[in-house]
């Protein structure tokens, strides 16, 4: 009996030793010892191992290292294609070839033909109201006519200027008109009076007018090479810029940054200048090597379009604020005086523009 018990104890000891050897061997030989995860000073094992997950070939994480699972990377945008030829050509055989006039404006209702003044009266400027319901026309005799676009008829004729009216700008129901008589008249079309105020500051013909997008500031350019800024209630300019060396006809307020104003000079100047009217700061200047006829900001991207007369006669798309050229369009033998080219680029996201021949 005692011999049998001793034999059983020996077998148990042998089994226990075999189990300990198997356990030690299992600890010393992990399944995959490729990834080190760290160690604890109190642990007997210096290295701890874990099985590395299999990853498919050429697999990439769907998110960046610092991005959460709810944020994905935006796709890389391909360069925007800007067409370099006109997709539509409009006939305008009687359009006057005069740098100081503003003879084309783009209607929100896409109206292309409205009226014929007839007689000896000639058009010197046109300007559509924001909604495209009314059209203002400045004439060579100094009058301003208001036309109802829906009824296609003239509803009012207003005086006040002694010479031709070459610039018009709308601000809600207020219409500003600039003339060769050096004056700017503010007209409220709801009032029976021809004008509600007169702005004096230019020493030569007023050839450029543009209201800011918030309708708080009016910028005016003149043949005296001056760029003036007025507020809603002033009859004298609150800001005066005299850096241009030729007539300032091209004026454009940025829709992206409050108070950012661009202006362009004539043949003797050729420069596009940028101003911060909020801080009264001169920002930058670029020489275009050509007469600047018109300027327009894109409403979709931070870009600027300029049209030019002598000597390049072309349209240029600029990237702001670097002022690098994105495209040069429609080089011709005659000047691009009309703003229709800039406005259509501003409206169409694909960069199309209409041409006038």
pLDDT at 212: 96
In terms of DSSP bridges, do strands 354-356 and 88-90 run parallel, antiparallel, or are they unpaired? parallel
Task: Sheet containing 303-308: give its strands across.
Answer: 292-297, 303-308, 315-319, 324-329
Contact between 92 and 336 (Cβ < 8 Å) = no
Residue 185 lies in a domain: yes
Who has greater pLDDT, 194 or 56?
A: 194
How many domains are contained in the chain? Answer: 1
Residue 238 pLDDT > 50, yes or no?
yes
Q: Is 92 inside a domain boundary? A: no
Domain membership of residue 253 (yes or no) is no
Question: Which pLDDT score, from 0 to 100, does residue 108 have?
Answer: 80
Non-local CB neighbours of 151 within 8 Å, separated by 6+ positions:
none
CA atoms of 221 and 208, how far apart (whole Å): 5
Confidence check: pLDDT of 201 > 90: yes
Decide if 353 is inside a domain: no
Q: How far apart are CA 135 and CA 243, in angstroms?
A: 33
pLDDT the model gives residue 260 = 98
Residue 177 lies in a domain: yes
User: pLDDT digits over 268-280, tens only?
Assistant: 999 999 999 999 9
> CA nearest 284: which of 268, 308, 262, 251?
262
Q: Cα-flanking dihedrals φ and ψ of residue 196, to 5°?
A: -100, -20
**What phi, psi does 24 have (nearest 5°)?**
-65, -40
- pLDDT digits over 45-68, tens only? 444 444 555 545 444 444 344 444
- For the segment 72-83, the average pLDDT, to the nearest whole number, is 62
| Measured CA distances, 136 to 17, 151, 222 (Å) | 107, 14, 20
Q: Cα(201)–Cα(218) distance, rounded to whole angstroms?
A: 13
Which token pair is 149?
């676009």
- Is residue 287 domain-resident? no
Q: Which residues contact 184 (CB under 8 A, 6 or more apart)?
A: 176, 177, 178, 198, 199, 200, 201, 202, 206, 209, 218, 220, 230
Give whichever of 71-75, 156-160, 345-349 has the largest mean pLDDT: 156-160
Query: Which range has highest mean pLDDT (46-60, 105-119, 282-296)?
Result: 282-296
What percent of the chain lies above the pLDDT cut of 70? 67
Could you tell me if residue 281 is inside a domain? no
Contact 105, 114 (CB under 8 A): no
pLDDT tens for residues 133-158?
Answer: 899 999 999 999 999 988 889 999 99
pLDDT digits (tens, 9 = 90+) for 203-220: 999 999 999 999 999 999
User: Which of 245, 304, 294 lies closest to 101, judged by CA?
Assistant: 294
How confident is the model over 221-233, as pLDDT tens digits?
999 999 999 998 8
Q: Is the model's pLDDT at 172 over the cut of 80?
A: yes
Residue 69 has pLDDT above 80, yes or no: no
The domain that contains 106 carries what CATH number? Answer: 2.130.10.10
Give the pLDDT of residue 97: 84
Residue count (the chain): 357
What pLDDT is attached to residue 106? 83
Q: Is residue 146 domain-resident?
A: yes
- Report the C-alpha gap between 57 and 94 in whole angstroms: 69
Q: Can you give the pLDDT at residue 264?
A: 98
What's the pLDDT band for 352 if we cut at 50, 70, 90? very low
Domain that holds residue 185: 98-242
113-128 mean pLDDT: 75
* 176 CB neighbour count, 10 Å cutoff: 25
């Amino acid at each position: 009996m005692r011999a049998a018990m001793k034999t059983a104890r020996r077998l148990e000891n042998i089994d226990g030793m075999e189990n300990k050897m198997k356990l030690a061997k299992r600890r010393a030989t992990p399944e995959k010892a490729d990834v080190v995860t760290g160690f604890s000073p109190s642990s007997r094992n210096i290295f701890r191992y874990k099985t590395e997950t299999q990853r498919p070939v050429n697999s990439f994480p769907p998110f960046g290292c610092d991005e959460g699972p709810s944020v994905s990377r935006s796709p890389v945008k391909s360069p925007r294609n800007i067409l370099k030829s006109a997709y539509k050509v409009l006939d305008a055989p009687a359009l006057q070839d005069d740098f100081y006039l503003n003879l084309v404006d783009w209607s929100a209702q896409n109206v292309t033909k409205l009226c014929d003044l007839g007689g000896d009266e000639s058009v010197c400027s046109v300007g559509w109201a924001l909604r495209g319901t009314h059209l203002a026309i400045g004439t060579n005799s100094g009058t301003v006519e208001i036309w109802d676009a829906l009824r296609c008829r003239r509803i009012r004729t207003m005086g006040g200027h002694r010479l031709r009216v070459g610039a018009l700008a709308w601000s809600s129901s207020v219409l500003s008109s600039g003339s060769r008589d050096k004056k700017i008249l503010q007209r409220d079309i709801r009032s029976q009076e021809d004008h509600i105020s007169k702005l004096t500051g230019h020493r030569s013909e007023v050839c450029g007018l543009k209201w800011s997008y918030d309708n708080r500031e009016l910028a005016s350019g003149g043949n005296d090479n001056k760029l003036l800024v007025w507020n809603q209630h002033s009859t004298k300019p609150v800001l005066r810029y005299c850096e241009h060396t030729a007539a300032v006809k091209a004026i454009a307020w940025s829709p992206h940054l409050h108070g950012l104003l661009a202006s362009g000079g004539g043949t003797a100047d050729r420069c596009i200048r940028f101003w911060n009217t909020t801080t009264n700061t001169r920002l930058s200047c670029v020489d275009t090597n050509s007469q600047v006829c018109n300027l327009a900001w894109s409403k979709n991207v931070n870009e600027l379009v300029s049209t030019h007369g002598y000597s390049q006669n072309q349209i240029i798309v600029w990237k702001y604020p670097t002022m690098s050229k994105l495209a040069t369009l429609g080089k011709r033998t005659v000047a691009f005086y009309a703003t229709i080219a800039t406005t259509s680029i501003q409206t169409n996201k694909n960069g199309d523009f209409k041409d006038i021949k």
